[in-house]
Amino acid sequence: MGVIRLLFLSDTHLGFDMPQKPRIQRRRRGEEFFIHYHKALEPAFSGDVDGVVHGGDIFFRSRVPVDLVQKAFAPLTEIASQGVPVYVVPGNHERSSIPYRLIASHSNIHIFDTPRSYILRTAMGSILFTGFPYERDNIRRRFPDVMLQTGWKNLKADIYLLCIHHCVEGASVGTQNYHYTFRYTNDVIKINDIPVAFTAVLSGHIHRYQVLQKDHAGNRVSVPVIYAGSTERTSFQESGEQKGYVVIEINAKQKSLQWTFHPLKNRPMFQIEINAEGMGAARLKTVICKKLDHLHSDSIVKLRILGELNNEVFSLISASSLRAMVPTTMNIEAVPLNYRKYSTK
Ligand SMILES: [Mn+2]
């Protein structure tokens, strides 16, 4: 018996920085979100996988224009039409349901719009895909009940996969300076509540690729929790993270599975801190140009400006003034840290 291969991606946040009626001309990041979405789906287009799981947050927010939904579901429909089943978990940005449901309707696209289970039968064995949409009301307490509603216990398969969009105890986010691990709050599923009959959990929601294999006491758990992470960096907090997608290889006979992370080549992203205390605009301009000089022209940059700033300096770090200082291919913004309300976003 050969292996069953699955493509797992999540948090594509399509529609990010893609205004329908842009007021100003500047490079938008919207396109690169689509480029990496398509790149992540390549193993499905080339026939290298037997199924696709999208772990949720297809879109960047819940209210999205109809043409964005069409653009997002076009590749998934194409993959589904080639005979590769697609499983989608509605995330929090979908308000737990997929907008314009009819666009997404295809006999090979399976959406976890309610707690439910789907069986995939292949020559190499069968997989039960169990899942439910993002649950905003105390998933920690409700998890066992929601699991019952999926009906997984009445169904037989070689492999059981749980597809969700939630924090599981032990999942972590952060940067070099700031780190947070989800543990005790109402929106966190206890890792030991996951039924041991499952082979793995595939989850969206956490934007950093990681695999949880231990509980809070440090004991190894029998069901690994795999986060593919987002396919693009959705904020500067993620600037140090390698983005990508996961390919899962399943040996149904041995009831075992392995995963491989495939990195995507995202644009370089930098946060640069400048202490501008006592600087005039001319001096600060020189400092900024020097700092940006060695960066790739394709970079996404945020300047964090410290210190009391005069009006001349404020207009220097306005969005339009900064854009005039850098190549048009660069995305740049500045945040004066001492003035909370001021933003060039
Ligand atoms: Mn997300």
Question: DSSP string covering 43-100, please?
Answer: HHHTT--SEEEE-S--BSSSS--HHHHHHHHHHHHHHHHTT--EEE---GGGTTS-SS
Confidence check: pLDDT of 162 > 80: yes
Q: Tell me: the pLDDT tens digits for 324-340?
A: 999 999 999 999 988 64
0.75 cut: is pTM over it?
yes
Question: In terms of Cα–Cα distance, which of 199, 176, 174, 172 is closest to 188?
Answer: 172
Structure tokens that stand for 191 in this block: 């890792």
In the chain, domain spans? 4-263, 269-336
If you measure from the C-alpha of residue 249 to the centroid of ligand 1, how many angstroms do you get, rounded to a whole number? 25
If you measure from the C-alpha of residue 134 to the centroid of ligand 1, how many angstroms do you get, rounded to a whole number? 11
If you measure from the C-alpha of residue 77 to the centroid of ligand 1, how many angstroms do you get, rounded to a whole number? 22
Q: Tell me: the pLDDT tens digits for 212-271?
A: 999 989 999 999 999 999 999 999 999 999 999 999 999 999 999 999 999 999 999 999
Question: In terms of Cα–Cα distance, which of 127, 107, 133 is closest to 55?
Answer: 133
Q: Which residues pair with 130 in a beta bridge?
A: 117, 162
- Mean pLDDT along residues 99-125: 93
- Mean pLDDT along residues 140-146: 98
Question: In terms of Cα–Cα distance, which of 96, 64, 90 is closest to 11?
Answer: 90
Q: Tell me: the pLDDT tens digits for 262-312?
A: 999 999 999 999 999 989 999 999 999 999 999 999 999 999 999 988 889
Question: In terms of Cα–Cα distance, which of 96, 112, 103 is closest to 76?
Answer: 103
In this prediction, residue 338 carries a pLDDT of 80
Strand runs (DSSP E) across 68-218, as ranges? 86-88, 109-111, 116-122, 125-131, 159-165, 167-168, 172-174, 179-181, 188-189, 200-204, 210-214
SS3 162: strand
Do residues 200 and 163 make contact, with C-beta atoms less than 8 angstroms apart?
A: no
If you measure from the C-alpha of residue 59 to the centroid of ligand 1, how many angstroms do you get, rounded to a whole number? 8
Do residues 91 and 68 make contact, with C-beta atoms less than 8 angstroms apart?
A: no
In this prediction, residue 344 carries a pLDDT of 45
Helix (H) or strand (E) holding 143: helix 139-149
Q: Tell me: the pLDDT tens digits for 185-212?
A: 999 999 999 999 999 999 999 999 999 9
If you measure from the C-alpha of residue 207 to the centroid of ligand 1, how many angstroms do you get, rounded to a whole number? 6
If you measure from the C-alpha of residue 58 to the centroid of ligand 1, how many angstroms do you get, rounded to a whole number? 8
Residue with tokens 């297809």: 58
**Which CATH superfamily hosts domain 4-263?**
Metallo-dependent phosphatases (3.60.21.10)
* N residues, the chain: 345
